[in-house]
Amino acid sequence: MKGWVVTGLFVVFEGADGTGKSTQVAAVSEALKKAGHDVVVTREPGGSVVAETLRSIVLDPAHDIDPTTEVLMFAAARADHIAQTIRPALDAGKIVISDRFVGSSIAYQSAGRGVDETAVADINLYATGNLVPDVTVVLDLDETVAGNRRVDRGAIVDRMESAPDGFQQAVRASFLAQAEAAPERHLVIDATQPPEAITQQVLTYLQCEHGVQL
């Protein structure tokens, strides 16, 4: 069997709150499943038993968590998520679609909260064992529109969504900067487009750039 390497595909969706990530994660994964692919859909913080428990703590508005602790909690959840869910699925040759990954820690904890970016990056290199997504889809949307969507959604506001003015703009700018720094593994999408058009754009990219059959 030498030379026969089964490798999965690791796809991440990123974006500020209210950019339509969850809708796209669901639509893209459904389309890939319909095309016959073995797809694991997951999310951060979370995606494993321990990481989901950490999620309930780190996003709970009742807690006052300092930025350093926050970085470490997201990273700890990520390490468990990789060990329990992502690595085994990729090793089995599956497509893994994650709602958020390291890019969110750079955007929220560094650009948003002000933790040193090198520190956040280094902690995450350790937590992930250098696992880098094959594709990161960035859903990009003006904060005024995204903010209105969050209000319309009427969702319970978590600790990150209740952050001060300017926070979400900094998060958005960071995702764009990350994409600009590594364009070969990012796809930035204008999230004002209709959801179906966005889904199609992602699928076409996966087909053209990664040979995913549809």
Nearer to ligand TYD (CB atom), residue 120 or residue 212: 120
At position 112, the amino acid (one-letter code) is G
Binding site for ligand TYD (CB under 6 A): 17, 22, 43-45, 59, 74, 99-100, 104-105, 108-109, 155, 158, 160-161
Q: What Cα–Cα distance (Å) separates residue 149 from each residue in 66, 94, 202?
A: 28, 33, 22
CB of residue 112 to ligand TYD, shortest distance in Å: 7
Nearer to ligand TYD (CB atom), residue 108 or residue 175: 108
CB of residue 83 to ligand TYD, shortest distance in Å: 16
Nearer to ligand TYD (CB atom), residue 89 or residue 212: 89
Nearer to ligand TYD (CB atom), residue 139 or residue 212: 139
Q: Are strands 9-14 and 186-190 parallel, antiparallel or unpaired?
A: unpaired
Q: Which residues, 6+ apart, have CB-to-CB distance to 193 below 8 Å? A: 201
Residues facing residue 137 across a β-bridge: 13, 187
Q: Which residues, 6+ apart, have CB-to-CB distance to 122 below 8 Å? A: none
CB of residue 145 to ligand TYD, shortest distance in Å: 16
Nearer to ligand TYD (CB atom), residue 172 or residue 212: 172
CB of residue 159 to ligand TYD, shortest distance in Å: 8
Of 211, 8, 5, whose CA–CA distance to 92 is shortest?
8
The answer to whether the beta carbons of residues 158 and 61 sit under 8 Å apart is yes
Q: How far apart are CA 176 and CA 156, in angstroms?
A: 27
In the numeric block, the tokens 């090198």 are attached to 118
CB of residue 44 to ligand TYD, shortest distance in Å: 4
Residues facing residue 14 across a β-bridge: 138
Q: How many CA atoms lie within 13 A of 72 on its CB side?
A: 5
CB of residue 5 to ligand TYD, shortest distance in Å: 29
Nearer to ligand TYD (CB atom), residue 64 or residue 211: 64
